[in-house]
Structure 1
Amino acid sequence: MKQSTAIKIATGVAAAAIGGLFLYSRATRPPVINPTVPQPAKPVDLARYAGTWFELARHENKFQKGLDAVTAEYTLEDGGKVAIVNSGIRAGENERVAAEGHAIVADEETGAKLKVSFFGPLYTGDYWVLDHGDNYDWSIVGEPSGRYLWVLSREPRPAPATLQALLDHVEALGYDRWALRITRQD
């Protein structure tokens, strides 16, 4: 009888902990900035997408909070995986912090939808290349919940007219561009 009660208590505590983590993760997500996320505009050639991207703007999120000089490096691996190294410098610090992850193509037809993981196989997130330049010189990346958005460029500081055109394009895709944080690329 005592062992049965202990198991019930342990099960209840575990369920409460899992429920608490779920509620915490839901409460700390950024708000939706586009309730009707568009499908990717065109296919993505991952060989051309690979390389270094500089973040121009993002919808601020807890895992990048306070980061500037943000870059994303994509490398094709055997078996169709993509290695990812995202890095940046936190305000007031001189040291670059990095997060390493992997992605797999979730939409073989277009290559524009990927599943990414930075925390092992138990947690994957969506990564949709919503649009990109014909020469792969810029990219707008989101995901289906409308909570995350990144504006990327091959140049750390493109011409002001280019940045303005990208922000206008973000708005045309249905996002609140004023919710974006401009990333300093010093």
Structure 2
Amino acid sequence: MSALRSLLSIGAILLLGACTGVPEGVAPVGNFQIDRYLGKWYEIARLDHRFERGLSDVSAEYRLLPDGSIEVINRGYSAARGEWKEAVGRALPIGDQTVGSLKVSFFGPFYGGYHVAALDETGYRWSLVVGPSRDYLWILARERSLPPGVREQLVDTARRLGFATDELIWVTQDRPDA
């Protein structure tokens, strides 16, 4: 029985580790500076997921905590409920802190990968973020919209990386921050 328990424990560890991995063929950006990435980002586009379904005016705010972890506050407006929804999580760098790869948790000890696949390295005005698989993709910006040329560039990058860009949801950003 203990051999089976050990095997199951190893399997669970491998499965949880896979949740923070990077999709094959995707490389997180180098020369990443977390202090420049902190602050507010607006969601411009995303692939659909249950936890964001139906939300508009989505934003994420990243704040460095005294223990070195990063507080993540995701907010979005649910028109169906007529209210703001908010989730607070925690992020930690994965490995080398100069690589744009974090693990993020909103549910206790369970972490998911957050990998910056493209970034405006000059002004940190936009980023392309992917999760542990090609099911997760976000285009983020410091402003509520992006110039069409930048949008096209990020969609082209995501398409080249194998993401289903024809399924992107373009997020409306009409409500003032609450």
Structure 1 residues 109 and 158, CA, compared in 2 at 3 Å: closer, same or farther? closer
Q: Distance in 2 between the 1:160 and 1:103 partners? A: 30
Q: Does structure 1 conserve the Cα–Cα contact (< 8 Å) formed by 2:134 and 2:162? A: no
How far did residue 37 of structure 1 move? Answer: 4.3
Give unmatched runs, 5+ long, in structure 2: 1-22
Q: Does structure 1 conserve the Cα–Cα contact (< 8 Å) formed by 2:73 and 2:88? A: yes
Q: Hey, what does 1:86 align to over in structure 2? A: 74
1:128 and 2:115 correspond = yes
Q: Hey, what does 2:58 align to over in structure 1? A: 70
Q: Hey, what does 1:31 align to over in structure 2? A: none
Q: Distance in 2 between the 1:177 and 1:133 partners? A: 20
Q: What TM-score results when the alignment is normalised by the length of structure 1?
A: 0.75
Q: Distance in 2 between the 1:86 and 1:63 partners? A: 11
1:105 and 2:81 correspond = no
Runs of 4+ aligned residues of structure 1 deviating over 6 Å after TM superposition are: none
Identical-residue share of aligned pairs (%):
38
Q: Does structure 2 conserve the Cα–Cα contact (< 8 Å) formed by 1:37 and 1:143? A: no
Q: Distance in 1 between the 2:153 and 2:27 partners? A: 20
Q: Does structure 1 conserve the Cα–Cα contact (< 8 Å) formed by 2:29 and 2:99? A: no
Q: If each structure's helix is expressed as a fraction of its own residues, which one has the higher value? A: 1
User: Which letter does structure 1 place at the counterpart of 2:116?
Assistant: V
User: Which letter does structure 2 place at the counterpart of 1:160?
Assistant: P
Q: Distance in 1 between the 2:172 and 2:37 partners? A: 22
Q: What is the root-mean-square deviation in Å for CA atoms of aligned residues? A: 1.8
Q: Hey, what does 1:61 align to over in structure 2? A: 49
Q: Does structure 2 conserve the Cα–Cα contact (< 8 Å) formed by 1:151 and 1:166? A: yes
Q: Deviations over 1:10-40 (max 9, x none)?
A: xxxxxxxxxxxxxxxxxxxxxxxxx744111
Q: What TM-score results when the alignment is normalised by the length of structure 2?
A: 0.78
Q: Does structure 1 conserve the Cα–Cα contact (< 8 Å) formed by 2:135 and 2:163? A: no
Whichever of the two has the greater Rg, that structure is 1
Q: Distance in 2 between the 1:108 and 1:172 partners? A: 26
How far did residue 169 of structure 1 move? Answer: 2.2
